[in-house]
Amino acid sequence: MHEALLFSYHDTAVYSGDPLTLHEGQWLNDAMLSFYYEYLTHEILRGDNSVLLLKPTLVQCLRLQQDVESLRSALPTDMHSKEIIFIPINNSNGFEHVGGSHWSLLVYVKHTNPTYHYYDSMANINYQYALAVKSKLDLFLFGASSQGPPMVTHSCPQQENGSDCGIFVVLYTDLLARRYNDLRLPPAVQLTAHRLSLPPPVPPRPRRLRKLSAEPDTTRHIASIALNNRRHSSQPQSSSLPNRSSTYHDSSDDSSGVIRRPMSPFIRNSSNTRNRMAVRPATLVTPTIERSFWWIDYGDLCNPLKARMTLQALVNDHYTRYNNIVPTLN
């Protein structure tokens, strides 16, 4: 039985069965991951051509195809010029459809010291698959005579079930891509933009004991941190970088020399910035990436269930926009 096409978004087609993988307990499929990668590229990172997000199907073919030269035409021709590349890793052994049982994330950064950074929400069980993809990419980026740059494995938030791996890849990618994009703001222009349009200050929360009925997105899973993320013990509990957030712009008039974009849907406490736009200069700089840039702590990510609902709302919005009808995807 063929599934009905819901909508097309740039190079990604979303069918009727794809949003079902956003329900709690379901394994995120490659179509939903590709959809958000397209959204991140064309909306959140709009105008920043130094970032590349590879599609899961292309990464799968890259890993399994023996004749890598046959894939050269499928890869972006300007891949060598990209400063940072996001590569979703899957442990499936099939070509036609990305199945498997686990997602993880590999990130290549060019910068002054090229390095691969690996993030896995389930104790690095996809490590061998990430190495296989790295070896193929090294052939395109550095040639057959080079072993390529090293791959660093990072401690990162761990999933508490068997189905949230794809959601964690989305959250890892969203966080790191926004960090990099915001670091590219020229300091002088960033300071001026902050003076002109700072977001309204968030009042401090009153000091009180946390109730057992606290919302999931504000609850820190202390047991999970202790059991699954022990390597963070020598690092700060929060890996947030100062002055990393974008500036906000409420005016409907576009300013000269700036790019307006929607806020990332996964920003914590996003209700305070809903329907706001981020603004940045069209001219960006090459940032200095420090070691702390790559740290991801539980406090940097929103709750996985909330992320599923946010993605569902994003799919519903695009379904309505492209079909002009009220969606019934739940």
H or E segment to which residue 186 belongs: none
Q: How do residues 7-23 score in pLDDT, each as one tens digit?
A: 999 999 999 999 999 99
Nearest to 55 by CA among 35, 80, 26, 28: 35
Is the pLDDT reported for residue 44 higher than 80?
A: yes
Is the pLDDT reported for residue 140 higher than 50?
A: yes
Instruction: Look at residue 143 in the predicted model and tell me its pLDDT.
Output: 83
Identify the band that residue 234 occupies on the pLDDT scale cut at 50, 70 and 90.
Answer: very low
Identify the band that residue 73 occupies on the pLDDT scale cut at 50, 70 and 90.
Answer: confident
Is the pLDDT reported for residue 203 higher than 90?
A: no
Q: Model's pTM, two decimal places?
A: 0.74
What percent of the chain stands above pLDDT 90? 44
Instruction: Look at residue 253 in the predicted model and tell me its pLDDT.
Output: 39
Q: How do residues 93-122 score in pLDDT, each as one tens digit?
A: 876 555 788 999 999 999 878 999 999 999
CA 48 to chain centre: 15
Identify the band that residue 72 occupies on the pLDDT scale cut at 50, 70 and 90.
Answer: confident
Most confident segment among 26-40, 69-83, 144-158: 26-40
Lowest mean pLDDT among 66-80, 138-152, 163-177, 228-242: 228-242
Q: Which amino acid is it at 185?
A: L
3-class secondary-structure state, position 293: helix
Query: Distance (Å, rounded) from C-alpha 33 to C-alpha 172?
Result: 12
Residue bearing tokens 């020229």: 186
